[in-house]
Structure 1
Amino acid sequence: MAGTLLAPRSGTPLERLVQMAMERGYTAQGEMFSVTDMGRLAQEALGCQAEVLYGGLGGPNRDHVLQHLVAGHPLLIPYDEDFNHEPCQRKGHKAHWAVSAGVLLGVQGMPSLGYEEDPELPGLFHPAPGTSRQPPSLPEEGFPGAVYLLAKQGKSWHYQLWDYDQVRDSNLQLTDFSPSRAADGREYVVPVGGVRAGLCGQALLLRP
């Protein structure tokens, strides 16, 4: 899912990624309960840089994540998936991966030079291709509805706009292995320390 964003002309097939992950002991059924292992897989399979983010998407990490997205780089986020693919809080029982390919910022005033207004949606501005521009001012943390991630669950075909704080909160409560998975008789690769150690409060920033 992130491969097509980093190298759209030569995206690595999902089947090949799963095969590589199984060969290296990162997964048994296609599951990935370790952000660190996902980073290693991304570096090898996509030839990209992978930075593991610790401590959640809020606080001092928030501006770092938003600037990463504003620069046009993808973000991989483990989260609990609701029935409509949006973030929820199930203590990790519905843990899945999402990719964010962009961000929608609610800002006061007109953007600086280097942005173009959407011809169909007044008040919506896009970075103008091929022009230098100053990064937009980032909304302060705690203002509801000011930041949305353009994101999708790994196997979904469609992007959605997710409230940043909801994604942050879902990512921060990934603590437990799903009881239904524990009872299904199949093998899974879970890191030492469990889901909490492998996923909770972590994300993956990818760069070419």
Structure 2
Amino acid sequence: MTSPCSPLEPPISPQRAPAPKAPIIPPPPLPLSPPDSGFPPSPWSLQAPIPPPPPPLPLPPAKGTAPPHVFGLEKSQLLKEALEKAGPVPRGKEDVKRLLKLHKDRFRSDLQWILFCADLPSLIQEGPQCGLVALWMAGTLLLPPSGIPLERLVQVAMERGYTAQGEMFCVADMGRLAQEVLGCQTQLLCGGLGGPNRDLVLQHLVTGHPLLIPYDEDFNHEPCQRKGHKAHWAVSAGVLLGVQAVPSLGYAEDPELPGLFHPVPGMPCQPPSLPEEGSPGAVYLLSKQGKSWHYQLWDYDQVRDSNLQLTDFSPSRAANGQTYVVPTGGVRAGLCGQALLLWPRDSNHLPGSITI
């Protein structure tokens, strides 16, 4: 793996609140493997028996859609009722069109828009598992639909000492976990989502590969700035680009929304010119996170700024009596200005190149 980051310190040291609760009993141990260095591949994990995923939820009557995966559904009547009221989960393209119609004043009328979108399932988190839920959703683009159960990700993360109860405060540990359990390639980005990393991120998303981003979560799940006190994870699997002109090869205008274009499946596409940094309101990330089964469109600069100010551990978390695993150097060392690119191990995709 190539990474613009300097080598990180050994991953973790536990940070405990003054009044810890009963100790967490981890699942039965996995076979031991030697300590990793620089995200080494872990062949044994790919060959180890994987428990079968839980049985799927019944399909709703709507055609062409699937219900969200809800972790802990069998234990929560509230979640069951919410799922029944919510109905089927819209596919990415339809959800984006809903957002564009609902918030059309937010999008510049002087630009044409190109939507690159990979469909993600939904998974509602239980407890502080937003990072592992985001990784599970990303994994559905890297593995067959059967994928890896969330329980498997939690188990391995606990066995490796990355987490105590599902929380993930270290992007580097997330990369190691993704390599071991999903067998994918990863690139750890440091120094924020601006500058040269901006083009890497946009080119990666245009090719249909996922990006994991830590950020501060506002009341409506959008990025905000709370110095890391509301640290949360999202997965981005698409991007909405505002351009002056749409390339002539490989794009079709949406029949319902004039000015919105989609790549034509199975047809070669001419890569678009990426909007220059400093062009406000021209780039939106298509994202999902573990507290909603809908997509959201987030202004790129808003995500960049939120990601770049993750510096402090939440005082409310520190005082709630729970145990958390935080890396040496705290939230600043583990999350601030960092993100994770993922793509399949057998893919020819290289960060920095566009192959549509």
Summarize deviations over 1:125-153 as a string: whole Å, max 9, x none: 11111122221101111111100000012
Gaps of 5+ in 1: none
User: Following superposition of structure 1 onto structure 2, how do residues 49-128 of structure 1 map, counting pairs within 5 Å?
Assistant: 49-128=185-264
Question: Which of 280, 285, 304 is equivalent to 1:168?
Answer: 304
Structure 2 residue aligned with 1:28? 164
Contact kept, 8 Å, 1:117 with 1:125, in 2: the verdict is yes
User: Quick one: distance in 1 between partners of 2:241 and 2:154?
Assistant: 34
User: Quick one: distance in 1 between partners of 2:248 and 2:139?
Assistant: 31
Partner SS for 2:249 = coil
Contact kept, 8 Å, 2:216 with 2:228, in 1: the verdict is yes
User: Quick one: distance in 1 between partners of 2:338 and 2:294?
Assistant: 24
User: Quick one: distance in 2 between partners of 1:42 and 1:112?
Assistant: 37
Partner SS for 1:9 = coil
User: Quick one: distance in 2 between partners of 1:190 and 1:36?
Assistant: 12
Shift of 1:12: 1.8
Question: Which of 261, 267, 281 is equivalent to 1:131?
Answer: 267
Shift of 1:8: 4.8
Task: With a CA cutoff of 8 Å and minimum separation of 6, indicate the structure with the bigger relative contact order.
Answer: 1
Shift of 1:82: 0.8
Name the amino acid aligned to 1:50. T
User: Quick one: distance in 2 between partners of 1:13 and 1:194?
Assistant: 29
Shift of 1:15: 2.1
Shift of 1:115: 1.3
Gaps of 5+ in 2: 1-136, 345-356
Shift of 1:11: 2.4
Partner SS for 1:188 = strand
User: Quick one: distance in 2 between partners of 1:6 and 1:82?
Assistant: 29
Summarize deviations over 1:105-127 as a string: whole Å, max 9, x none: 00002323011211211111111
Partner SS for 1:106 = strand
User: Quick one: distance in 2 between partners of 1:146 and 1:82?
Assistant: 22
Question: Which of 145, 164, 170 is equivalent to 1:9?
Answer: 145
User: Quick one: distance in 2 between partners of 1:99 and 1:154?
Assistant: 9
Structure 2 residue aligned with 1:43? 179
Contact kept, 8 Å, 1:99 with 1:154, in 2: the verdict is no
Partner SS for 2:310 = coil
Structure 1 residue aligned with 2:62? none
Cα RMSD after superposing both structures: 1.1
Partner SS for 2:141 = helix
TM-score after normalising by structure 2: 0.57
User: Quick one: distance in 2 between partners of 1:9 and 1:205?
Assistant: 20
Contact kept, 8 Å, 2:246 with 2:272, in 1: the verdict is no
Summarize deviations over 1:44-71 as a string: whole Å, max 9, x none: 1111111100110001110111000001
Summarize deviations over 1:81-112 as a string: whole Å, max 9, x none: 11111001000011011000100000002323
Q: Structure 1 residue 156 and structure 2 residue 292: aligned?
A: yes
Moved more, 11-20 or 70-79: 11-20
User: Quick one: distance in 2 between partners of 1:112 and 1:74?
Assistant: 26
Name the amino acid aligned to 1:165. D
Question: What is the number of equivalent residue pairs in this alignment?
Answer: 208
Q: Could you say which structure has the larger radius of gyration? A: 2
Name the amino acid aligned to 1:197. A
Q: Structure 1 residue 189 and structure 2 residue 325: aligned?
A: yes
Q: Rate the CA distance shift 1:27–1:103 in 2: closer, same or farther, 3 A.
A: same
Shift of 1:154: 3.1
User: Quick one: distance in 2 between partners of 1:104 and 1:194?
Assistant: 33
Contact kept, 8 Å, 1:96 with 1:154, in 2: the verdict is no
Contact kept, 8 Å, 1:92 with 1:195, in 2: the verdict is yes
